[in-house]
Structure 1
Amino acid sequence: MTTNKDVLLERIANKSAVIGIVGLGYVGLPLMLRFAEVGYKVLGFDIDQSKVDALTAGKSYIEHISADSIATART
């Protein structure tokens, strides 16, 4: 019998799991970019509309994170 845990572990292993990150600040945004970099689909959530708008436009609001990193993660 296949359990929910088995299904989740399989989705993580084959990178078909969708990762959700709540808060896209100095911890959440780099975490989101790393998951995207290794091949996961990632959904980010933040209550700060200006952050959401910047990311949607392919821009970074954190100095050490480039717009190129954002653009790469969006593809």
Structure 2
Amino acid sequence: MDVMSELTDQRDALKRTKGHLHDVDGHLSTSKMFLSLMSRRIQGNQAMVWGLAIVLFIILVFLIYLKLQKLMAFFR
């Protein structure tokens, strides 16, 4: 009887452990989803920063071109 009682206790402990492992697996899946979402947001933000940098560079080049045109007209 003692052996049967001990085996029952061990089976219950294994079932609880299995339940905890399923909970942990669920939390890991949720964490993976959040990390993927954060990664996509970071990539989107980086793309916007690069796009803004390119637009600002184009504006800067255009302004320099206009100033040089004005300067050339002044010396003529």
Compute the TM-score of the two structures, normalised by the length of structure 2. Answer: 0.22
Question: Larger relative CO (CA 8 A, sep 6+): 1 or 2?
Answer: 1
Larger radius of gyration: 2
Kindly indicate which of the two structures has a greater share of residues assigned to strand.
1
Compute the TM-score of the two structures, normalised by the length of structure 1. Answer: 0.22
